[in-house]
Amino acid sequence: MYYPNNNLSDEITPVNDVFLINAKPYIRNVKPYSFSLSNTLSSFQRVIVSGKNFFSVTNVFLSGSNPSMFDGVTLFNLFSAESRLSATNPPFSAIEIPIFTQIDNVIYFDIPPIKQNGFLDVIILNETGYGLLSRDSYKPSLSALRKLQLPSIYGIKVGIFDNENIFFTTQSGMWFITQNNIPLTLEN
């Protein structure tokens, strides 16, 4: 305790210092922030998430902007028994990523099959709370002239295409969309 006048008399009320310690994960960036997958092939996408406070990560989750993006979406209310943590870590609907690799403040995982277009939010959990890609990757602007944000503040953009009819081909390093080997134009 600290006594303002260095006097230990009973008439002085002690002042307690308060320190806030926050150890929940913060997601700063994700790669890629946009990709397309085939709905007919068993394709997958590896995602790399970087941030800070990734020590003791227990779970990784994906939440979709469209509830039908995944099978098996569950409501997680992980901090309901902890009144101090439940206010800053509300319930969320997501799927759990069962296998992920963590090296320091970087996490790698593969996205499971996706059924719909939309945005994905990455949620990283440790015992002190969870980090959310769409919330934590936002960078407050220090100047009205400089409002640069990473594309990941909206989540990971996912597009699904029908592999039976549309193909992505490359010529001289440029990508083209073709259907039945005919390049698609704006008129198609």
Q: Are 137 and 152 in contact (CB under 8 A)?
A: yes
**Gap between the Cα atoms of 110 and 41, Å rounded:** 15
- In this prediction, residue 147 has a pLDDT band, given cuts at 50, 70 and 90, of low
**Of the CATH numbers 2.60.40.10, 3.10.310.50, 2.170.120.20, 3.40.50.2300, which one belongs to the domain with range 26-183?**
2.60.40.10
Q: What is the pLDDT of residue 150?
A: 63
**Cβ atoms of residues 4 and 111 within 8 Å:** no
**Every domain of the chain and the residues it spans:** 26-183
In this predicted structure, what is the pLDDT of residue 76? 94
In Å, the largest CA–CA distance within the chain is 91
